[in-house]
Amino acid sequence: MVVKNFSNGAKYEGDWEDGKKNGEGTLYYADGGKYEGEWTNDLRNGYGVNQWANGDRYEGNWKNNKKHGQGKLFYANGGKYIGEWEDDMRDGEGKNTWSNGSRYEGSWAQNQQHGQGTFTYADGGKYVGEWASNMRDGYGVNTWSNGDRYEGLWKYNRKNGPGTFYHADGTKEVGVWTDDSIDNQSNDVKEKKTKKALSKNGIQFKGFWLNGQPFVVVLMPKSSDCPYLTLAREFIVSLKWNKSFFDRGHDHCYCSHCYKHSWHDVIEAGEGKYVIPRGWVRLGLHIDPVLLKTQDVWNKWIVTFHGTTKIAAQSILTHRQFCLPGDTLIDGTKLGIRPGHIPNQNFIYTSPTIAYSSGLAYSPVYDFHSTENDADYLAQIVLQCRQMPDSFQIGPETIGAGKNEICPHIPNSKIEYFTDRRATLHAYGLLVRFRQKN
């Protein structure tokens, strides 16, 4: 414990090592603000609370002097943001409440509302749907405080494309919109044009199987949620698993419609990086809040993927721990060692890329019929996990890929992780992918 007074009027009280702020400490700024928390080499790193002279206050995680990870920012004017941060910007999932009572809850990218989200206006109106750069963009439903409602496509915050406007008096306008105005053609022509536009604007989800074969799933939006996410939820219902497994607040869609092509393929999580599971949908899973807090899971543990079968995944969620070879699953069968893995050694296998974990050796394909869409699909599941750093060994691929590149971001020689420590691995999402059957 040291006390340091600086020439600019600032004062520091706390741990000091190698001539720098290191450990726990409090810095009192000359302007009246202060930071109390963790330090690394004179930089705010880890958990800390920063109070600015203007009254703003941030409580959460820091990385290299920037807000990064989970955190809460309370504005002096009464507004607040609670959610994920990256590089000092709101980025990820979060909820922002403004001083006038308006609030937004959903996805953010570089400080802007971007992706799926719900905006509730101070006057009681609401928009539920897609966003791009702080504007309604894509499919969404806007309800005004006077009872009017629009369901359809948006562009640059205006009604653009096929949509239906329901007036509070019971009348409605159905057609194709341009910059908030409906065309003036007859209803019959409107109906034909709308159907043609809907066909043209059907949402296509593109992806590739591990062998490189492309596939496309075409769905029409029937609700404010992404239809690919809606399809995944229907699939989960068909499994008849215990509803208490799931945490809908952590659902996230990585389809080509929700997770844009221009967005990052590899991002940081905890003390490592992972490859975004493009083309998949995550159904959030409950995770022990005591574990989250005591182990600082969201900020220190890395993201990995675990390919699995339906029965093994259900066993993992039921018993609240991952299965090792030799364990008895809930159907009475025993989990064996997969061909290609180390014989007579019991390990749990994960990977930093879903391109590997979704290989058929780990994640078999299941038939699924959607009654909502009256269509047949092939479905796969993979668990999205948080794994303790340095708790596993790293090895090469074991599925027979040889020199064929599995993932452009991870070399085949370092693509598989294995551990026998169950407590160092926890699932927080069930990822699902679909391919429409011919």
Q: In this predicted model, what pLDDT tens digit does every residue of 94-117 receive, in sequence order? A: 999 999 999 999 999 989 999 889
The pLDDT tens digits for 189-244 are 444 444 444 444 455 554 544 444 444 454 544 444 688 889 999 999 999 999 99
| 270: phi then psi, degrees, rounded to nearest 5 | 65, -135
Are 193 and 213 in a shared domain? no
Instruction: Say what the pLDDT of residue 88 is.
Output: 93
* CA dist., res. 287 & res. 165, Å (int): 41
Cβ proximity of 432 and 281 under 8 Å: yes
Residues 184 and 323 in one domain: no
pLDDT of residue 67 exceeding 80:
yes
Look at 75-79, 197-201, 248-252, 429-433 and tell me which has the smallest mean pLDDT: 197-201
Tokens of 413: 């020689």
Q: Which residue has the higher pLDDT, 259 or 252?
A: 252
Q: What is the 3-state secondary structure (H, E, C) of 409-423?
A: CECHHHCEEEECCHH
CA distance 220 to 386: 33
pLDDT at residue number 217: 52
Examine the domain organization and report whether 431 and 345 are in the same domain.
yes
Domain range for 192 is 123-199
Q: Which of 178, 199, 220 is the last residue of a domain?
A: 199
Report pLDDT for 99: 92
* Residues 21 and 15 sit within 8 Å (Cβ to Cβ): yes
Highest-pLDDT range among 199-208, 268-277, 292-301, 323-332: 323-332
- Please check whether residues 297 and 362 belong to one and the same domain: yes
Mean pLDDT of the 12-24 span:
95
Q: Tell me the pLDDT tens digit for each residue of 358-369.
A: 998 899 999 999
The predicted model gives 45-74 an average pLDDT of: 96
Percent of the chain with pLDDT over 70: 89
SS3 per residue for the chain:
CEEEECCCCCEEEEEEECCEEEEEEEEECCCCCEEEEEEECCEEEEEEEEECCCCCEEEEEEECCEEEEEEEEECCCCCEEEEEEECCEEEEEEEEECCCCCEEEEEEECCEEEEEEEEECCCCCEEEEEEECCEEEEEEEEECCCCCEEEEEEECCEEEEEEEEECCCCCEEEEEEECCEECCCCHHHHHHHHHHHHHHCCEEEEEECCCCCEEEEEECCCCCCCHHHHHHHHHHHHHCCCHHHECHHHCEECCCCCCCCCCCCEEEECCEEEECCCCCEEEEECCCHHHHHHHCHHHHCEEEEEECCHHHHHHHHHHCCCCCCCCECCCCCECCCCCCCCCCCCCEEEECCHHHHCCCCCCCCEEEEECCCCEEEEEEEEEEEEECCCCCEEECCCCCCCCCCCECCECHHHCEEEECCHHHEEEEEEEEEEEECC
Asked whether residue 330 falls in the same domain as residue 413, the answer is yes
Q: What is the number of structural domains in the chain?
A: 2
Largest CA distance in the chain: 80
Q: Which two tokens stand for residue 230?
A: 């809606």
Q: What per-residue confidence (pLDDT) applies to 208?
A: 46
Q: What is the pLDDT of residue 26?
A: 98
Q: Are 319 and 313 spatial neighbours (Cβ–Cβ below 8 Å)?
A: no
16 band by pLDDT with thresholds 50, 70 and 90: very high
Q: Considering the domain boundaries, does residue 377 fall inside one? A: yes
φ/ψ of residue 285, rounded to 5: -120, 145
Domain membership flag for residue 163: yes
* Structure-token match 């992404």, residue found: 226
Q: Both 284 and 384 in a single domain? A: yes
Q: Looking at the structure, tell me whether residues 323 and 398 fall in a common domain.
A: yes
Range picked from 34-43, 107-116, 151-160, 290-299 for highest mean pLDDT: 34-43
Asked whether residue 96 is domain-assigned, the answer is: no
Q: Are residues 246 and 151 in the same domain?
A: no
> For all residues of the chain together, what is the average pLDDT?
87
Question: Is residue 65 situated within a structural domain?
Answer: no
Q: What is the pLDDT of residues 291-311, one digit of tens each?
A: 888 888 888 899 999 999 999
Its sign, for the CA torsion 65, 67, 72, 76, is: positive
Task: Determine the pLDDT at residue 223.
Answer: 43
**For 171-189, what is the mean pLDDT?**
75
Per-residue pLDDT band at 422 (split at 50, 70, 90): very high
The reported pLDDT for the residue numbered 419 is: 95
Q: Please tell me the least confidently modeled range out of 12-21, 93-102, 205-214, 258-267.
A: 205-214
CA distance 225 to 91: 20
Please write the tens of the pLDDT for every residue from 126-139.
999 899 888 999 88
Residue 290: predicted pLDDT: 86
Q: Do 192 and 214 lie in a common domain?
A: no
385 backbone dihedrals φ, ψ, rounded to 5°:
-125, 160
For residues 425 and 340, state if they share a domain: yes
Is 186's pLDDT higher than 80?
no
* Residue at 60 is within a domain: no
Band the pLDDT of 34: cuts 50, 70, 90.
Answer: very high
Same domain, 173 and 269: no
Q: In terms of domains, do 174 and 305 share one?
A: no
Which range among 147-156, 212-221, 250-259 shows the weakest confidence by mean pLDDT? Answer: 212-221
Q: How far is CA 348 from the centre of its chain?
A: 24
Mean pLDDT of 54-78: 95
End residue of a domain, out of 161, 180, 199: 199
| Burial (Cβ within 10 Å: 0-12, 13-18, ≥19) of residue 229 | buried
Asked whether 399 and 210 are in contact (CB, 8 A), the reply is no
pLDDT of 43 strictly over 90: yes
